[in-house]
Structures are given as C-alpha cells and as structure tokens.
Amino acid sequence: MNVRPIKTHKIVPGECDIFSVLDEHIGNIEEGSILFVTSKVVSICEGRVVKKEPGLARKGLAIQEAERYLEPEEGKRGMLMTIKNGMVCFNAGIDAFNSDGYFVLWPEDPWESSDAIRRYLSKKHGLNDFGVVITDTSAKPFRRGASGVAISGSGFSFLNDHEGREDLFGRKIFLTKSNIIDPLAAAAVLVMGECDEQTPMAIMTDIPFVDFRKDAPTEEEKAELAIDIEDDYYGNLFGKAEWKKAVNSNRIYKWKKN
C-alpha cells in the first residue's frame, strides 16, 4: 500500500470550487487508486462555512447540525458529543482550525460530494477502477489521540465479507465483515497530517484487497456501515446515555429508541 500526500495552495472560503482545486493539483491517476480529500476542503468549496462573530457559539451550530447530542459536562472542554450522519463525533464535525476565521461544517451531503468527485475524475482520466473517500478525524473512547475516519466514499466496497472463512485452526470466523473504508482513511490522514502541512489530499495505490465498483454506493451499502444500537458492542454505553433529539433526522443511523 502506497500513500502519496498532495500539497495544495491555501484553500479559503469564497475563492474556489472543488473541481478547480482538483484540476490544479491532481495529475495523472493510476487505475486502482483511491483519492482521499479532507471534509474541510470539500465543505469550504461548497460554502458550508459560518463566519465567526461575537455571540456565535459552536455549540449552537452543532445542535443545529446534529441528529442527537449529549449536553457537555464541566471539565470536558465544552465539547458536545453528537451523532451526525450515523457517526458518533464531537460538535457534529464542526471545526475552526485552518479555516481563516470560519466555522466549517461537514458537507451537506458527503455521499453525493464523494461520488461527484469520483465521477468527475473518472471521466477526466478515463478510469474504470477508482475510488474517493472524504475524511475527518475523530477520537476513540479511552484512547488518547485522534485518527482519521471516513465520513463518505464512492467507487469501492466499504466492507470485506469473510462469511464462511476459518482461522488457522479451522475455527469459524465470528466477525464476518472487516471495515475497509475507515482504516484506509486513517492511513491517508496520517500521511496528510492535521496541522500546517497544507496537504489536504492524498492518493493511495497498491491496494489489491479493495473491491472497486463503478456505480455510486446504494442506500443499502451506505446503511450497511451502520449498526442498530441494540446490536452494537458499545450499545450498553451509548444506548443508556440521555441523548437529546436535535432538529435534523438521520437518514442512515438505525436508532430505534425515541
């Protein structure tokens, strides 16, 4: 597996669109490659930003953007734990770094955004096997440090199916699916960096274990990444929390409780 970061100019609100950024900074693309793009770049190009002003709090924006949220406790840096697009994250993914005085929200429809990028570059470069992943960073419970995660993707299977396989000693594999998209995103984000590197994109090659697809992901494929709260290994932790229902309703997350 090979990951090559892509350096760009400073991408700021009001001065770009995602396709002009791609045209300027993406050269030749090999068959069987995946492009990783930070959600911040996509959002800035789509105008998903809010100017910082006195009295405007990120918490209020997060409640507007989230599907569910927990009130922050004292000593937790005011971070709002939320569920957004089927994922547990802080502040509904809203960030204020590398944004030149703006709060940057997640893309309105990250799935459509990643597929639009895939279609554009596939046509431009004549690619059959090509994927796109929009990334962000997140923290895991009881684990220090943030790592990359995927908030959407297009062009390949997000899960590898191991149903019917056995381990070295003939024992049937209990966990029948491996998450592919998030570990790939973690590797790409590690190479891209998260501070002043100015490399918000990366190309990954030599990934024979990826099953490429030519069509946009279906609603079923998107939903397959999610899991019912009752079936989740973390269900006892997250399911008992006093989540407040925000304005937006989630189209993907399989939450059965009111």
Q: Look up residue 84 and give its two tokens.
A: 């957004």
* Residue 70: CB atoms within 10 Å: 18
In 3-state terms, what secondary structure has residue 44?
helix
Check residue 240 and give its pLDDT.
78
- Tens digits of pLDDT across the chain (258 residues): 999 999 999 998 887 899 999 999 999 999 999 999 999 999 999 999 999 988 888 888 998 899 888 887 654 666 888 989 888 899 999 998 888 889 999 999 999 999 999 999 999 999 999 999 999 999 888 889 889 999 999 999 999 988 888 888 988 887 778 999 999 999 999 999 988 999 999 999 999 999 999 999 999 999 888 887 778 878 787 777 888 877 654 433 343 333
* pTM assigned to the model: 0.90
Check residue 249 and give its pLDDT.
46
User: Which amino acid appears at position 71 of this protein?
Assistant: E
Determine phi and psi for 187, rounding to 5 degrees: -65, -45
User: Residue 63 to residues 52, 71, 83, 94: CA-CA distances in angstroms?
Assistant: 16, 10, 10, 11
One DSSP character per residue, 162-214 reads -TT-B-TTSPBPS--EEE-HHHHHHHHHHHH-SSS----EEEEE--TT--B-S
- Angle between helix axes 39-46 and 110-125 (nearest 10 degrees) is 90
One DSSP character per residue, 62-115 reads HHHH-SEEEPPPTTSTT--EEEETTEEEEGGG-B-TTSSSEEEPPPSSHHHHHH
Domain ranges in the chain with CATH number 3.30.1330.100? 2-42+107-225
Check residue 180 and give its pLDDT.
95
Check residue 250 and give its pLDDT.
43
Task: Supply the CATH classification number for the domain 2-42+107-225.
Answer: 3.30.1330.100
- CA separation for the pair 58, 43 (Å, rounded): 16
Check residue 245 and give its pLDDT.
78
In 3-state terms, what secondary structure has residue 159?
strand
